[in-house]
Amino acid sequence: MDKRAALVREFRNHFPERGDPGLCRAPGRINLIGEHTDYNGLPVLPMTLDREIRIAFAPRDDGLVRMHSVLPAYRPAEFRNGPDIPPSPTGAWENYGKAAVQCLNRRFQPRQFPGLDMLVDGDIPSAAGLSSSSALVVACALAYLRALGKRLGPDISRLELAARLAEGEHYVGTQGGGMDQAIILLGGEGVACKIDFFPLRVEPVPLPDDHVFVGCHSLVQARKTGEALHRYNAGPVLCRLIRALVERQAQRDFGEEVTIDRLGDLWQGHLCLTDAEVESLFERTFATETLTLEEAARALDLEPSEIRRRWLGDLREPEGGFRLRARARHLLTENRRVEHARDALLARDPESFGALMDESHRSCADDYEISCPELDTLVEVTRRAGARGARLTGAGFGGYTVNLVPRARYEEFARRVEEEYYCLQRSEPPSDNGRLHIFAARAGAAAGYME
Ligand code: GLA
């Protein structure tokens, strides 16, 4: 039985009183390069996967939203639709559905809030950096658009939906950027996409024929809504402080009227600085490797409590202060690497692309501090096994690495990684990933309806 028929049958088991459901799907993604840049308004280069979240759905007219999953780990949940939907406790899976519904309510301001029955299925490994959560949000949004009587395209463009859902997903507690929703809605078969933000722009870049991007799981679970939520959010939170400090320095250098909303503004708009100019601005802003809260407060003429109130919240200050200079350096160099990586893909130059991936991993690990020992070991193993470049992918702290491997050497590569990494690990691949700990990525179709 094909996947659609199986999903329809399951839908009827879960919701026997309902008629024929609509069907929609949203793919996962793997990011080739450009990590933690998106929320700073700097580019990324991901591709879709041929693994996806699928939803069978039927609108209701009583405002009740019911979410069931074929996976037993996700317990049935329901909530009442309305102008303000209170979130369930952090980590509850229905929050992704609530995020989508609330976001589209804000956009379409319905006079009556429709309900929806949804049955969710999928084969994207979760907590692994492949964006199963944003795929769920996007798929829920497509289902709910139907309940609102709206059409993707005529009533809301893919670009607008992606930008809105990026913001809308903050509902679940993570302060991510817009990469995932954009590639899920605007990526496609056979291509990676270079994505720029504010405003959202997407440029398809053909994938090579003679090389494959291979995902390898570190076997460390990286739940973005679990313990990793705070570690993930430290990225956006510290970037807000970096932005404020850089803006202050730019005002001293270029005039008090200068404002920057995000670090990406430095390269655009009226400032339009070159890489070298941004580098020297960062050097002036961060004269030392670390900055204590007290020092940051002095630089900004504010009380430390005000810095916490505006930007840092309760983020713990590490002994010796925050390593802001290294974080800023990652953003500067990663921005450059994404541009070069796009050029290398277009020029069919796997060697340069691989070297950029290696540099990116080092920068993510040393400067942005989002790696872990298992990811570091795994990229060493995969390089020895024949990858031309290897790096962590996604939010970090575990999950998958992405590796550029000559197609003809894939089997040999997989065998060696099996021997030199997986056979030596104590933990098993997570049971919900279909033992998909090594896979050659294929760019699947963007999210849409399955009719
Ligand atoms: C998560 C977020 C993205 C992005 C990546 C890191 O996937 O959802 O917006 O910040 O982490 O590059």
Return the higher-pLDDT residue of 143 and 227: 143
How far apart (Å, rounded) are the C-alpha atoms in residues 421 and 126?
A: 21
177 lines ligand 1 (CB under 6 A): yes
Q: How confident is the model at residue 229 (pLDDT cuts 50, 70, 90)?
A: confident
Ligand 1 center from residue 381 Cα (angstroms): 25
How far apart (Å, rounded) are the C-alpha atoms in residues 434 and 122?
A: 11
Q: Per-residue pLDDT for 428 more than 80?
A: no
Q: How confident is the model at residue 231 (pLDDT cuts 50, 70, 90)?
A: confident
pLDDT (tens digit per residue) in 144-184: 999 999 999 999 999 999 999 999 999 999 999 999 999 99
146 lines ligand 1 (CB under 6 A): no
pLDDT computed for residue 426 by the predictor: 73
For a ligand 1 pocket test, name from 30, 35, 38 the mutation site with the most ligand atoms within 8 angstroms of its C-beta: 38
Q: Per-residue pLDDT for 228 more than 90?
A: no
84 is a catalytic site residue: no
pLDDT computed for residue 451 by the predictor: 81
Q: Per-residue pLDDT for 434 more than 90?
A: no
Q: Per-residue pLDDT for 39 more than 80?
A: yes
Q: Which atom of ligand 1 is nearest to the CA of 37?
A: 12
Q: Per-residue pLDDT for 270 more than 90?
A: no
**Minimal-distance CA residue to ligand 1 atom 10:** 36
Q: Per-residue pLDDT for 284 more than 70?
A: yes
pLDDT (tens digit per residue) in 394-406: 999 999 999 999 9
Closest CA to 429 of 48, 35, 126, 121: 126
29 lines ligand 1 (CB under 6 A): no
The residue-averaged pLDDT of 53-70 equals: 98
* Residue of 38, 121, 180, 196 with catalytic role: 180
Ligand 1 center from residue 92 Cα (angstroms): 19
36 lines ligand 1 (CB under 6 A): yes
The residue-averaged pLDDT of 364-384 equals: 98
Closest CA to 43 of 234, 179, 216: 179
Locate 205 and state its tokens: 């870049």
Q: How confident is the model at residue 432 (pLDDT cuts 50, 70, 90)?
A: low
Q: Is-contact 246 282, C-beta < 8 A?
A: yes
Q: How confident is the model at residue 30 (pLDDT cuts 50, 70, 90)?
A: very high
The residue-averaged pLDDT of 73-92 equals: 96
Chain-centroid distance of CA 50 in Å reads: 17
Burial-class residue 347 by CB neighbours within 10 Å (0-12, 13-18, 19+). exposed
% of the chain surpassing 90 pLDDT: 91
**Minimal-distance CA residue to ligand 1 atom 9:** 177
The residue-averaged pLDDT of 285-310 equals: 97
Q: Which atom of ligand 1 is nearest to the CA of 44?
A: 12
For a ligand 1 pocket test, name from 35, 36, 167, 239 the mutation site with the most ligand atoms within 8 angstroms of its C-beta: 36
Ligand 1 center from residue 192 Cα (angstroms): 16
Closest CA to 117 of 95, 140, 100: 140
Q: Which atom of ligand 1 is nearest to the CA of 38?
A: 10
Rounded to the nearest integer, the mean pLDDT of the chain is 95
Whether a cis peptide bond, with omega within 30° of 0, leads into 21 is no
pLDDT computed for residue 5 by the predictor: 94
Q: Per-residue pLDDT for 226 more than 80?
A: no
Ligand 1 center from residue 177 Cα (angstroms): 6
- Range from 269-273, 398-402, 407-411 carrying the lowest mean pLDDT: 269-273
**Minimal-distance CA residue to ligand 1 atom 11:** 395
Phi, psi of 35 (to 5 degrees): -105, 135
Ligand 1 center from residue 236 Cα (angstroms): 10
Confidence (pTM): 0.97
pLDDT (tens digit per residue) in 100-141: 999 999 999 999 999 999 999 999 999 899 999 999 999 999
Break the chain down into helix, strand, coil percent, rounded to 5.
45, 20, 35
pLDDT computed for residue 433 by the predictor: 56
Q: Per-residue pLDDT for 339 more than 70?
A: yes
Ligand 1 center from residue 35 Cα (angstroms): 7
Return the higher-pLDDT residue of 435 and 317: 317
**One-letter amino acid of 406:** P
